[in-house]
Amino acid sequence: MGSRPFFENRFLLLGFSIVLSACLFCGLSPAFSEMTAKCLPFDWKSFPSNTWVKLQTCGDAPRKVFHGAASLAADRNEVFFFGADTHDVDYDNSVTRFQLENVQWTKDYEPDPVKTYQVTPEGYPRTSNGRPWAHHAFDSFDYHPPSRRFLFVGFPKHAHFAKRQLQENGVTLDALRPATWWYDPDKKQWELLKISSPNLFAHGLVWHSVIDQFIGHDGSSTFHFDPMHQMWKTYPSPSIPGWHQRLVWETRTGQILSLGNNTGNSDLWTYSLPHLQWEKITVKETPLPANGAAIAYDVHQEILLYIANNHSNSYNNPSGKSVTFLYRRSTGSWTKLSLESPPLFGMNYLTQYDPVRHVFLHFEKTSQSDDQLAVWALRWERE
């Protein structure tokens, strides 16, 4: 099928999206059971190829979190979202999920008020409900299929308002330290691991299925987390100094890929095991600069998708314009796709690949004035 603009293909989906729109009929917000009944299965089998399609979703979509993270749980058919913009504005520490079978948004629990924020005697930031504070999550939240849980590593560096409130109440923050958490989606509960954790604020994390470990990287060092023994190990393995990394696991080679950082370069790096070394990949062409890159890896076709900001400011792109690139390790080259790309407003850690439906998923707001998260999908097939 030839490439067509994603807005044209919205009409291709009209037949099976009308029922989904019933969820929002007359602007009502029905109870969860009623909402679930109206959100009928989405027809992924009829989904078009080689064009970005904006989905008509069901339920109340969350706002776009600039510093938020996402992770797809293929065995659950869901994408999970965690993270907040904090500073003086956003203190939402809830978990939101997007259900792929019926394209429905739901929230696991309501946010904890800042007045519930505490610091444990060991220095861990925790609410009185046993949850992490609202954090900039960046790329430090990922799924662990063997345990069907999520790992989050965070440090509330920019939780300025919350920290001021605590200090005004006489709480000392000198011992505040990074924390490692498990999140159980079935119980909707967090578990704090009282262990020494790396500071992955503004850095990357990904699960490596072959060795069953999480790999974290801050540009200067690399960190391995062993879920069985629940401990971190640090290796002096640098790539390029900086922050805003985004990591994915490449199934073809069993290596980790990292694209870009806050300097806005387009360098692609690879981390190999058992050598425990980062190496810069030599490519034939280079894409647009990456800063908090919107990337995802197709495990079937073994390609890396990159939605790039088509603007001089790759951190906070006010134009919303983007370009879609694909990278193939087999050819060592980037390809710019000749299709209309979805909106992108700077950093975005939310892009995912669904190996069940064979689609890339992109989550972003539609305009500068509308913060509500929308969803675009791309099923790429060689033409």
Domain assignments of the chain as residue spans, ordered by start: 6-378
Report CA torsion sign: 161, 165, 166, 167: positive
**Looking at residue 383, what is its pLDDT?**
62
Q: Are 356 and 77 in contact (CB under 8 A)?
A: yes
Cβ contacts of 106-115, under 8 Å, gap ≥ 24: 106/32, 106/59, 107/60, 107/62, 108/185, 108/188, 109/188, 114/161, 114/162, 114/165, 115/165
Rounded Cα distance between 251 and 297, Å, is 9
Query: Encoding tokens for residue 228?
Result: 């069985």
Rounded Cα distance between 11 and 7, Å, is 8
What ranges in the chain are assigned the alpha helix state H?
Answer: 6-9, 14-21, 32-38, 160-168
Query: Encoding tokens for residue 381?
Result: 């097939």
What is the CATH T-level fold of the domain 6-378, as seen in this structure? Neuraminidase (2.120.10)
Q: If we measure between CA atoms, which residue out of 301, 346, 302, 300 comes closest to residue 322? A: 346
Q: How far is CA 372 from CA 12, 61, 320, 377, in A?
A: 23, 6, 14, 17
Question: pLDDT tens, 127-168?
Answer: 999 999 999 999 999 999 999 999 999 999 999 999 999 999
Rounded Cα distance between 87 and 90, Å, is 7
14 burial type by CB count under 10 A (0-12 exposed, 13-18 middle, 19+ buried): exposed
**Looking at residue 20, what is its pLDDT?**
37
129 burial type by CB count under 10 A (0-12 exposed, 13-18 middle, 19+ buried): middle
**Looking at residue 48, what is its pLDDT?**
97
Q: Are 197 and 205 in contact (CB under 8 A)?
A: no
Query: Encoding tokens for residue 311?
Result: 């603007």
Q: If we measure between CA atoms, which residue out of 81, 75, 35 comes closest to residue 58? A: 35
86 burial type by CB count under 10 A (0-12 exposed, 13-18 middle, 19+ buried): buried
Q: Are 131 and 92 in contact (CB under 8 A)?
A: no
Phi-psi region of 81 (alpha: psi -120 to 50; beta: other; left: phi over 0): beta
pTM equals: 0.91
Q: If we measure between CA atoms, which residue out of 167, 177, 182, 175 comes closest to residue 200? A: 177
Question: pLDDT tens, 299-348?
Answer: 999 999 999 999 999 999 999 999 999 999 989 999 999 999 999 999 99
Q: If we measure between CA atoms, which residue out of 92, 86, 88, 8 comes closest to residue 52? A: 8
Q: Which stretches of the chain drop beneath a pLDDT of 50?
A: 1-37
